[in-house]
């Protein structure tokens, strides 16, 4: 464009043109992501909320409004309450175990000299495996209830008879199966995050601690390492908690039925499995949607409680 | 260097022992996959434990792909399509949006940014039922694109691309403008070529998440033609008769590609893992 000898009018036009170009560019670049998020986040939230207030049996359309009856029905449904109870217990086990174990692994691996990369890879590699695949191995081989299950083979060496790991309500061995598979799958992932955070702790802090006479690993851990890992710890606890509350894959695949049998899912049916069966098997989409909102409310509640206990993570950490 | 005390030596050695034992336990499931995948049914169910088959049954893999009820080939094809599609589209759309939010001055762009961030807090528990309803309406049930599309749009990726482009040096952008580049030219010629590392980290994360995803493909892909490899694995458990050798061979096939990716691209994946805790 020529800049010489413009009268004010054309200059205003030029500026408007460039302003228009900026606006158009902005929306053109935003459009695919924005349309997608509106379509697959915004629309489902609203649709789901309206569905949850509707009697929507065998239909995906809302409109036959029944107020909050889906919610009250679910909250008085012993099976659903039982599923909420199940997932709370599961989460209360999974979160602390995963947290402590992954932190401990990170501290150990961090101290290793030779072979550090090897150990890091070995503990991290289960992250590559899907819940479906791991559930299959846990159910059909590792914790197979017959004599050819691997753990039963090991216990047989001590003269014990095979244990039906996922077959009985008491003793509830299936919890061991469900907890170990999730820990194996996710502990390495959190270990990597801790390892990265450990490397960012300034070395001078440890030197200062040594000069101040901090003796033994415990004091250093308590007064230097853990406080420095605070923000990382909070986000790991949060990720772990939200994921645990939405557990589905391992319950469905380890306890689910085969052939004509309904399986052992009755032993421990988490909310998401229950919601899935309400919506997709019983085709009650209204109640299924309501279940999703109740579960989300529970997640928010626990997140807030956890945040009150451990803090929400400081924003100052963001660079 | 000062000599190490006996106590320190013991600590080092015991650390190696503990970690090695744990390493064996962590690798055990992989061993079981390989062992069982190379055995016949009767060998797997034998009460006499054999650590490794003398004559590996490589034929298990042949029979797996020839079993008309297993849908292994379709599963792999669908999973590959979905994972690569998610990877490419998510990186493209997220980087575009991240660029617009970080580099194109626009009134109200902060509001849009915070709305996008808000969607991070919506768990899939609340969206999967109505998203199924949506898909049923627009004909996405039992299709590959129906499984693929919801996973393409990630507020998390958009957020990280925005943060990444905010730190992009102004001088380079100014130089581009002087060379006559518009917004599109700056994005395409300057920013994208400099986004390889973040795209590798986030892209692999998207690929892995997509390949291993279970609940959504289960909900939306009820017909075998739309099964992903994870659903194929799951149906081995729900089948009338369980073919153990095929089941473990299928597990090996489903897991192998990701193991390869993890081993060769470990650096990027660890980078991505750090991203997901909110670290940059």
**pLDDT tens track for B65-121:** 888 888 999 999 999 999 999 999 999 999 999 999 999 998 889 999 999 988 888
**Which residues in chain A have Cβ-Cβ distances shorter than 8 Å to B268?**
none
State whether A193 and B208 contact (CB < 8 Å): no
* Contact (CB<8Å) B276/A126: no
Residues 69-98 of A with CB under 8 A from B: none
Q: How far is B83 from chain A, CA to nearest CA, in Å? A: 14
Radius of gyration of chain A (CA): 27
CB atoms within 10 A of CB B208: 22
Size of interface A-B (CB pairs under 8 A): 284
Distance separating alpha carbons of residues A272 and A278, to the nearest angstrom: 10
Position A203 scores a pLDDT of 86
In this complex, the residue of A129, A258, A296 whose CB is nearest that of residue B123 is A296
Provide the ipTM: 0.91
Contacting residues for A319 by C-beta, under 8 A, at least 6 apart: B280
Domain annotation covers residue A166 = yes
- Residue A118 forms part of a structural domain: yes
A contact residues 216-255, partner B, Cβ 8 Å cutoff: 231-232, 235-236, 239, 242, 245-246, 248-249, 252-253
Residues in contact with A134: Cβ distance below 8 Å, sequence separation at least 6, in sequence order: A126, A181, A184, A185, A250, B29
At A148, is the pLDDT very low, low, confident or very high (cuts 50, 70, 90)? confident
Q: A104: domain range?
A: 70-312
**Is A146 an interface residue toward B (CB < 8 Å)?**
yes
Decide if A1 is inside a domain.
no
The pLDDT score that the predictor gives to residue A190 is: 94
Q: Does A124 contact B270 at a Cβ distance shorter than 8 Å? A: yes
**Interchain CB contact of B145 with A (< 8 Å):** no
CB A94 within 8 A of CB A179: yes
Residue matched to tokens 């415990």:
A218
Band (A315; pLDDT cuts 50, 70, 90): very low
At A301, which CATH number?
1.10.3720.10
pLDDT for residue A313 is more than 90:
no
Best residue in B18, B26, B116, B130 to probe A by mutation, most A CBs within 10 Å?
Answer: B130
* Phi/psi of residue B218, nearest 5 degrees: -70, -40
Residue A14 inside a domain? The answer is no
The CATH code for residues B67-275 is 1.10.3720.10
Q: Which residue of B has its CA nearest to A278?
A: B129
- Spell out the residues 6+ positions from residue B129 whose beta carbon is closer than 8 angstroms to its own: A48, A51, A275, A279, A285, A288, A289, A291, A292
Give the mean pLDDT of A278-300.
94
Q: Average per-residue pLDDT in chain A? A: 88
State the total domains in chain A.
1
Model pLDDT, residue A288: 95
Q: Where are the domains of chain B?
A: 6-63, 67-275
Structural domain contains residue A96: yes
Q: Out of A139, A232, A299, name the one closest to residue B237 (CB).
A: A139
Residue A60, in any domain of the structure: no
Q: Does B51 contact A at CB distance below 8 Å?
A: no
Rounded percentage of chain A residues whose pLDDT exceeds 90: 59
For residues B161 and A10, the model is more confident at B161
Statement: residue A278 has pLDDT above 70: yes
Candidates B220, B174, B204; CA nearest to B274 is B204
pLDDT of B4 higher than 70: no
Structure tokens at B31: 């061993």
CB atoms B29 and A197 under 8 Å:
no
Does the pLDDT of residue B14 top 60, yes or no?
Answer: yes
Tracing tokens 């403008």 back to the chain, one arrives at B177
In the prediction, which pLDDT does A1 show? 45
């Amino acid at each position: 464009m020529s800049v010489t000898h413009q009268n004010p009018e054309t200059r205003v036009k030029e500026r408007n043109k460039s302003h228009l170009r900026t606006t158009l560019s902005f929306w053109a670049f935003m459009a695919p992501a924005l349309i997608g998020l509106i379509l697959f986040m915004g629309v489902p939230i609203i649709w789901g909320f309206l569905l949850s207030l509707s009697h929507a049996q065998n239909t995906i359309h809302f409109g036959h409004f029944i107020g909050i009856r889906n919610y009250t029905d679910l909250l008085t449904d012993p099976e659903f309450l039982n599923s909420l109870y199940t997932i709370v217990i599961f989460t209360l086990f999974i979160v602390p175990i995963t947290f402590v174990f992954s932190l401990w692994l990170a501290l150990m691996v961090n101290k290793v000299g030779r072979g550090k990369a090897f150990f890091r890879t070995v503990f991290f590699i289960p992250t590559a495996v899907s819940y479906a695949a791991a559930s299959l191995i846990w159910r059909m081989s590792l914790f197979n209830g017959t004599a050819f299950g691997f753990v039963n083979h090991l216990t047989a060496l001590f003269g014990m008879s095979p244990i039906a790991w996922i077959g009985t309500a008491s003793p509830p061995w299936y919890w061991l199966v469900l907890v170990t598979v999730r820990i194996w799958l996710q502990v390495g992932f959190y270990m990597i995050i801790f390892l990265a955070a450990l490397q960012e702790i300034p070395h001078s802090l440890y030197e200062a601690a040594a000069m101040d006479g901090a003796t033994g690993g415990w004091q250093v851990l308590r007064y230097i390492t853990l406080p420095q890992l605070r923000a990382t710890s909070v986000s790991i606890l949060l990720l772990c908690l939200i994921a645990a509350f939405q557990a589905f894959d391992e319950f469905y695949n380890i306890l689910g039925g085969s052939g004509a049998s309904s399986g052992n899912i009755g032993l421990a049916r988490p909310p998401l499995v229950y919601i899935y069966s309400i919506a997709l098997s019983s085709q009650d989409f209204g109640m299924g949607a309501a279940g999703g909102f109740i579960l989300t409310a529970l997640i928010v509640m626990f997140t807030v409680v956890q945040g009150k206990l451990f803090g929400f993570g400081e924003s100052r950490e963001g660079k | 260097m000062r000599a190490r005390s006996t106590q320190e030596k013991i600590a080092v050695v015991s650390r190696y022992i503990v970690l090695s034992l744990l390493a064996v336990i962590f690798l055990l499931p992989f061993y079981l996959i390989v062992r069982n995948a190379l055995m016949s049914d009767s060998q797997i169910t034998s009460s006499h434990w054999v650590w490794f088959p003398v004559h590996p049954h490589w034929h298990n893999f042949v029979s797996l792909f020839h079993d008309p009820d297993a849908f292994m080939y379709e599963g792999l094809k669908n999973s590959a399509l979905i994972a690569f599609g998610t990877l490419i589209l998510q990186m493209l759309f997220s980087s575009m949006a991240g660029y617009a939010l970080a580099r194109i001055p626009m009134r109200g762009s902060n509001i849009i940014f915070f709305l996008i961030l808000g969607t991070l807090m919506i768990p899939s528990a609340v969206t999967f039922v109505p998203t199924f309803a949506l898909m049923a309406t627009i004909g996405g049930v039992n299709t590959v694109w129906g499984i693929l599309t919801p996973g393409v749009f990630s507020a998390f990726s958009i957020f990280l691309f925005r943060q990444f482009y905010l730190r992009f040096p102004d001088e380079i952008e100014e130089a581009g403008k002087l060379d006559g580049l518009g917004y599109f030219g700056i994005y395409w010629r300057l920013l994208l070529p400099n986004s390889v590392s973040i795209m590798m980290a986030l892209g692999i994360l998207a690929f892995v998440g997509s390949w291993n995803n279970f609940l959504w493909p289960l909900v939306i892909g009820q017909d075998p033609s739309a099964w992903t490899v994870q659903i194929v694995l799951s149906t081995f458990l729900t089948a009338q008769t369980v073919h153990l050798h095929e089941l473990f061979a299928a597990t090996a096939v489903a897991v192998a590609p990701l193991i390869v990716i993890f081993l060769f691209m470990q650096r990027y994946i660890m980078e991505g893992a750090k991203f997901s805790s909110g670290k940059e």
